[in-house]
């Protein structure tokens, strides 16, 4: 399908991604390229209709002012200059900061009138194009995909399934640190509803045995990440005739926004550290998409809303919320209290409002009273935060009646817990997770 594109050339602006998203929101595809792209490289890109040179506060690098090559102006494309402090800017985007509507207004005349770009970028076309491209790349060969149930891997799975059906082999590794019902949900949606070829590996014991007695958070992360690759690799070796590896790489993984170096586009061709003798070619159908576009793509493919809009969940899962050395009883307390919190947040409509919310169980007990007797049990800490980019975060001021309802349920239903606290700390000084 024909797709027009506005190319953004990066001169170190922090607004590159905001600008690209705004142009895409106008229905015109846009990508970001380094400032030193040559005219020949530019001409080789498909569907280019115009160029925006996006200067910023970082366009002096190591004392040298960077600029696009003079030949870019002779390449035959309409050019607009935008940015912070360039004297000759057509548009000063800095004033708009992150206001997508204002940026859309500022660039739409250039995009549509000057460049004559057509608004032909939408999810329907994107999905149709990617299905075609995947079929062309893969042919009748097989693709292996680690399906965690996160947004990106779920959307890749749904897309590959449409493209190649049974030739997609999904592997879901349950590391025992998933939230309540999560692995079951992956099986229900992908195996039962979408009839995907799904291998389910319950590796709970392997992970928990390895983690036994390990209290250091970074050590825990290393063990979980390393073992995940080993389990996946073992499954891969059991399968014959697989040439491709599906990956949920998305555009922010490829473009590093706001970089201070001249080379702003970098590739993250990280296959998760799989050994070199496993030769896979990568299939990355979401590599052009921003996160919100990935969600829209998931909906277009018919995935459930809850799956596509779920809150972020760290790779090490509940492992970093069961503080210190993980024990099965505290892990269960985290899992059960987290399920209660999620249920009550959904009932109160907070699941659509709050960015991330979960519970934590520390590795110390406190004294309480249960059934007229002294108890010595675990506390549960509730955390609910809002953020744009996870670099800073503020807490959600959850209303008392909701917190009290959640507290009552946790104390009644999770027998190893006698105390519930609410974490009031913003980031900074705290981080979002406790480990």
Q: Phi then psi for 51, rounded to 5 degrees? A: -130, 135
| Residues whose CB falls within 8 Å of the CB of residue 292, separated by 6 or more in sequence, listed in order | 21
Q: Give 58 or 356: the residue with its C-beta nearer to ligand XMP.
A: 356
Q: How far is the CB of 322 from ligand XMP (least distance, A)?
A: 14
Give yes or no for a contact between 326 and 210, defined as CB atoms under 8 angstroms apart.
no
Q: How far is the CB of 225 from ligand XMP (least distance, A)?
A: 8
Q: Give 123 or 421: the residue with its C-beta nearer to ligand XMP.
A: 421
Give yes or no for a contact between 362 and 323, defined as CB atoms under 8 angstroms apart.
yes
Q: How far is the CB of 427 from ligand XMP (least distance, A)?
A: 5
Cα 356–Cα 359–Cα 363 angle in degrees, nearest 5:
140
Q: Give 42 or 360: the residue with its C-beta nearer to ligand XMP.
A: 360
Q: Give 77 or 290: the residue with its C-beta nearer to ligand XMP.
A: 290
| Interacting residues with ligand XMP (CB under 6 A) | 221, 312, 314-316, 356, 390, 427, 431-433
Q: How far is the CB of 41 from ligand XMP (least distance, A)?
A: 34
Give yes or no for a contact between 361 and 338, defined as CB atoms under 8 angstroms apart.
no
| Residues whose CB falls within 8 Å of the CB of residue 128, separated by 6 or more in sequence, listed in order | 1
Rounded Cα distance between 314 and 75, Å, is 45
Give the position of tokens 């142009």: 23
Q: How far is the CB of 219 from ligand XMP (least distance, A)?
A: 12
Give yes or no for a contact between 260 and 59, defined as CB atoms under 8 angstroms apart.
no
The string over 396-410, giving b where at least 16 C-beta atoms fall within 10 Å of a residue's C-beta and e elsewhere, is bebeeebbeebbebb
Give yes or no for a contact between 360 and 321, defined as CB atoms under 8 angstroms apart.
yes
Q: Give 106 or 145: the residue with its C-beta nearer to ligand XMP.
A: 145
Q: Give 180 or 321: the residue with its C-beta nearer to ligand XMP.
A: 321
Q: How far is the CB of 68 from ligand XMP (least distance, A)?
A: 35
Cα 423–Cα 410–Cα 422 angle in degrees, nearest 5:
10
Q: Give 29 or 358: the residue with its C-beta nearer to ligand XMP.
A: 358
Number of Cβ within 10 Å of residue 89's Cβ equals 17
Q: How far is the CB of 358 from ligand XMP (least distance, A)?
A: 8
């Amino acid at each position: 399908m024909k797709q027009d594109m506005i190319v953004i050339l990066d001169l170190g602006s922090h607004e590159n991604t905001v600008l690209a998203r705004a142009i895409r929101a106008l229905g015109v595809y846009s990508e970001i390229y380094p400032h030193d792209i040559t005219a020949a490289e530019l001409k080789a890109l498909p569907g280019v209709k115009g160029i925006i040179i996006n200067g910023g506060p970082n366009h002096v690098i190591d004392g040298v002012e960077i600029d696009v090559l003079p030949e870019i102006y002779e390449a035959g494309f309409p050019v607009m200059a935008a940015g912070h402090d360039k004297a000759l800017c057509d548009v000063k985007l800095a004033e708009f900061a992150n206001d997508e509507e204002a940026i859309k207004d500022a660039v739409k005349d250039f995009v549509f009138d000057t460049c004559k770009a057509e608004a032909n970028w939408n999810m329907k076309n994107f999905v149709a194009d990617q299905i075609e491209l995947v079929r062309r790349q893969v042919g009748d060969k097989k693709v292996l995909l680690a399906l965690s149930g996160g947004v990106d891997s779920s959307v890749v799975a749904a897309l590959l399934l449409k493209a190649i059906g049974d030739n997609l082999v999904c592997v879901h590794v349950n590391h025992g640190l998933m939230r309540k019902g999560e692995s079951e949900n992956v099986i229900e949606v992908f195996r039962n509803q979408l009839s995907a070829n799904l291998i389910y590996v319950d590796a709970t014991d392997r992970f928990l045995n390895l983690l036994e007695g390990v209290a250091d958070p970074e050590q825990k992360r290393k063990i979980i990440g390393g073992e995940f690759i080993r389990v996946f690799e073992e499954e891969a070796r059991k399968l014959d005739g697989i040439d491709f590896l599906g990956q949920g790489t998305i555009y922010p993984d490829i473009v590093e926004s706001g970089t201070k170096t001249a080379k702003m586009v970098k590739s993250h061709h990280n296959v998760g550290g799989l050994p070199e003798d496993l030769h896979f070619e990568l299939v990355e159908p979401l590599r052009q998409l921003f996160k919100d576009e990935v969600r829209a793509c998931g909906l277009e493919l018919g995935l459930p809303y809850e799956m596509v809009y779920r809150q972020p969940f760290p790779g090490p899962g509940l492992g970093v919320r069961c503080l210190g050395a993980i024990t099965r009883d505290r892990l269960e307390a985290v899992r059960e209290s987290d399920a209660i919190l999620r249920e009550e947040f959904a009932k109160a409509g907070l699941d659509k409002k709050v960015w991330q919310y979960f519970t934590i169980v520390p590795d110390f007990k406190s004294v309480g009273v249960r059934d007229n007797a002294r108890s010595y049990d675990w506390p549960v800490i509730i955390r609910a935060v809002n953020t744009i980019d996870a670099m800073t975060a503020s807490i959600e001021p959850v209303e008392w009646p909701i917190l009290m309802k959640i507290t009552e349920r946790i104390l009644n239903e999770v027998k190893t817990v006698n105390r519930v606290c609410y974490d009031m700390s913003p980031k900074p000084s705290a981080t979002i997770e406790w480990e």
